[in-house]
Amino acid sequence: MKSPLAMLQPLGRALMLPIAVLPIAALLLRLGQNDILESSLVAPLAHALPWLGPFIGGAGAAIFSNLGLLFAIGVAVGFARDSNGAAGLAGVVCFLVATAGAKSLILAPPEALKGLASGAQDLAIAAFKDKALAKLSVPLGILSGVLAGDFYNRFGALKLPEYLAFFGGRRFVPIVSGLGGLGLGLVFGAGWGALSNGMDGLSQLIAASGPIGLFIYGVLNRVLIVTGLHHILNNVVYFLYGDYHGVTGDLNRFFAGDPKAGAFMSGYFPVMMFGLPAACLAMYHTAKPERRQAVGGMLLSMAATAFLTGVTEPIEFSFMFLAPVLFALHAVLTGLSMVLMDALRIRLGYGFSAGLLDYGLNFGRATRPLWLIPIGLAYGGIYYGLFRFFILRFDLKTPGREDNPIGMEIASEASQGGAGESFVRALGGPANLIEVSACTTRLRLVMADNARIDEPMLRRLGAKGLIRPSTGALQVVLGPTADQTSGEILAYLAAAPKAATPVASSPRGPGPKASAPAVTRDISGLLAALGGSGNLLSVASASSRLRLEVKDERAVDIPALKAWGARALGMTAPGALHVVLGPDAEAVALALARVLSTR
C-alpha cells in the first residue's frame, strides 16, 4: 500500500500544469491596465485604439475567471498515467456537470431578492449562484481533475461486450466522470453553506494567526520543497484565502485590485531576488581556490535565474543535503521575511514567482514597492554573512568544498543520441523507467530500481539534487529546463527499441529464437496471477523486467504476482504491464512465449 506521501506526489505534480498558465494571464491583465497604457511609450497607440486596454485586459481576466475549469483539465491530465488528453476531456465533463448540478441546488437568501421585480429577481438569483460557486470553483476543479484522472487510470482500458464496444476504453472515461460530477454537484450544492462557511473560517483563522501564521507558512513552504508538496500548501493561500468582491485567494485578489492582498507573496522577493543570489556569492568565495572556476559558472547561472525569474530550487538543492544547517537557516529567514514585509505593509505580487520580471511588471499594482530595494540589499547582506560564517565555522561541504566532488559542475555528457539518451543511461536504461513526467524545476520519475541510477553522471548532466520521496519514486532537480528534458527523455524512449534484448513476441508473430537459462519457478502460478494465458497478448523482456500486454488489467492479481516473486509492478499504459523479476526475467519471458505459441 502506498504511503500518504507517495499518494500526494501525483497531486503536487498535477497542480503545476494549470498553474503554468498564470504568467500569461497576469501579463495580459497587467498590460490592459490604464497606468501601462497611459505611459509615454504606448499612450499614442492607446488613444488611437481605445478598445485596446479592455481587449488585452479582458483576455487575461478570462483566464482568472475560469481557473476552476483549467484546474479540472490540468489536474486530470497530470493524474493520468500517460497524460492522455482523454483525461482532460473527462475533467471538463466532470466539472461542467458538477457546476450545473451545484447551481441548481444553491438557494438565494430572501434578503437578496427583497424589493426586486420578478424579472430582476431571476437575474439576481443567477448572479448570486454564479458568485457563490465562483468562490468554490478552484477546489471543485481540482476534485474534478482528480476524479477524472483516477477514472482514466481505472477504466481507460475497459472492455465492454461487442454491442457496446464503442463506449469502452477511453470513451468510457468521460461517461463515468459525468456520473462522478453528479456526486460532486450534490456535495457542493447541498453543502454549499457549510463549505462556504468553512472557507471563511479558514481565512479568518489565517488572518487571526497574524505574524505567527506568516512565519509558519514561510518556513513550511521551504521545508516542503524537499518533497515537492509545497505546491499544495501554496494553492490554499493563492486561491482560497480571503474574499474581495467574490474573488478568493491571495494571488487572485492581488490581480483583482485588493489593496490588502499579497501578504503571502511579498516575503519571497527579498529572499529570491537578493538573499539566495548572495548565498551563491558566499558559496563561491568560500569554495576551494582550485574549484572556484569549476563551480563559478554554475553558481552565477543559478543566481541570475533566481534574481530574474524567482526560480530558486537549483540553489536550494545545491546545499540542502550537503549542508542541512544552511537550509534550516534559509527556511527561518524566509519566514522572517514574510513577517517583516507584512509589518511594513509592503504588498507585492506575482503571476509566476518572486523575481525581477514579475516585480517590474506588477510595480504599478504593488503597495510601497520601492521598499524592496533597501530591504532586499539588507537581506542579501544577512544571507552572505550568515552563509559565509556557517560554511567556514563548521567546514560545510557546499559546492566547491567537497572532499570528493562528484560533478557538481555541469559538464557535457551528451551522447550521439542527445540529452535524452544520456539521461536515460544515467537513470539505468529504458527498462528502469516506468513513468516520466516533470513539474517546473524537477523530473518526477517512477523507477523499477532506484539503485541502478548513476548519480555522478546525473550531476554532470546538470542535476542539482536527487529526492527519493517513496520506494520506486525519484525526483531529479534540474531547474527551468526540467520539462524540456522530460520531453527529450520521452522522445528517446519512443524511438528506442521497446526491449533491450528481444525475447518474445506476440503469438501472432514468430516465436523467439534466443536461448536463456531454464526457469526455476513454476510458470503456472505466474500465468494464474496474470489472469490466465487467455488474458496475455504479448511478452517481451528488458534486463530484469517483463513487458507484458494484457487484455483486461482488472484480471491481474497484484498480490498473487508479488507472492510469486515480482519485485515491482507498473502499468505504463492501458493494458501495458511491467513486472520486475530479476536476473531470470529473460527465461521467464521465453517460457511465457512458449505457452502463447501453443494456444
User: Does residue 205 form part of some domain?
Assistant: yes
Do 190 and 205 reside in the same domain of the chain? Answer: no
Q: Return the axis-axis angle of helices 118-134 and 192-223, rounded to nearest 10°.
A: 30
The answer to whether the CB of 200 falls within 8 A of the CB of 194 is no
Q: How confident is the model over 293-329, as pLDDT tens digits?
A: 888 988 999 999 999 999 898 899 888 877 899 999 9
Write down the mean pLDDT value for the chain.
83
Do 562 and 467 reside in the same domain of the chain? Answer: no
Give the span between the Cα atoms of 147 and 385, in whole angstroms: 49
pLDDT for 528? 84
User: Does residue 502 form part of some domain?
Assistant: no
User: Does residue 459 form part of some domain?
Assistant: yes
Q: How many CB atoms lie within 10 A of CB 212?
A: 11
Torsion sign, CA atoms 190, 193, 194, 199:
positive
pLDDT for 109? 81
User: Does residue 501 form part of some domain?
Assistant: no
C-alpha cell at 591: 517460457
Do 251 and 292 reside in the same domain of the chain? Answer: yes
Any residues with CB less than 8 A from the CB of 385 and at least 6 apart, and which? Answer: 282
Do 425 and 394 reside in the same domain of the chain? Answer: no
C-alpha gyration radius of the chain: 27
Do 191 and 205 reside in the same domain of the chain? Answer: no
Give the span between the Cα atoms of 131 and 471, in whole angstroms: 44
Give the span between the Cα atoms of 553 and 453, in whole angstroms: 29
Torsion sign, CA atoms 456, 460, 465, 467:
negative
Do 395 and 465 reside in the same domain of the chain? Answer: no
Q: How confident is the model over 464-479, as pLDDT tens digits?
A: 888 887 777 899 988 8
Domain boundaries, position 423: 419-495
Do 401 and 285 reside in the same domain of the chain? Answer: yes
Give the span between the Cα atoms of 72 and 93, in whole angstroms: 9
Do 196 and 240 reside in the same domain of the chain? Answer: no
Active-site residues, by number, are 439
Compute, in degrees rounded to 10, the torsion defined by CA atoms 175, 179, 180, 185.
Answer: 130
Q: What is the mean pLDDT of residues 406-410?
A: 45
Q: Residue length, the chain?
A: 599
For residue 244, what is the enclosing H or E element? strand 243-244
User: Does residue 385 form part of some domain?
Assistant: yes
Any residues with CB less than 8 A from the CB of 324 and at least 6 apart, and which? Answer: none
Do 379 and 236 reside in the same domain of the chain? Answer: yes
Do 193 and 205 reside in the same domain of the chain? Answer: no
Place of cell 501453443: 598
Q: Considering 344, 379, 405, which residue would you say is the last residue of a domain? A: 405
- CATH number assigned to the domain comprising residue 429: 3.30.1360.60
Lowest-pLDDT range, 32-41, 116-125, 242-251? 32-41
Q: Considering 146, 169, 200, which residue would you say is the last residue of a domain? A: 200
pLDDT class of 412 with cuts at 50, 70, 90: very low
Do 207 and 326 reside in the same domain of the chain? Answer: yes
Nearest CA among 214, 225, 238, 223 for reference residue 12: 225
The answer to whether the CB of 451 falls within 8 A of the CB of 429 is no
Do 339 and 367 reside in the same domain of the chain? Answer: yes
pLDDT class of 504 with cuts at 50, 70, 90: very low
The answer to whether the CB of 222 falls within 8 A of the CB of 331 is yes
Give the count of domains, the chain: 4
Q: How confident is the model over 184-225, as pLDDT tens digits?
A: 999 999 998 888 888 778 778 887 899 999 999 999 999 988
Q: Considering 371, 405, 439, which residue would you say is the last residue of a domain? A: 405
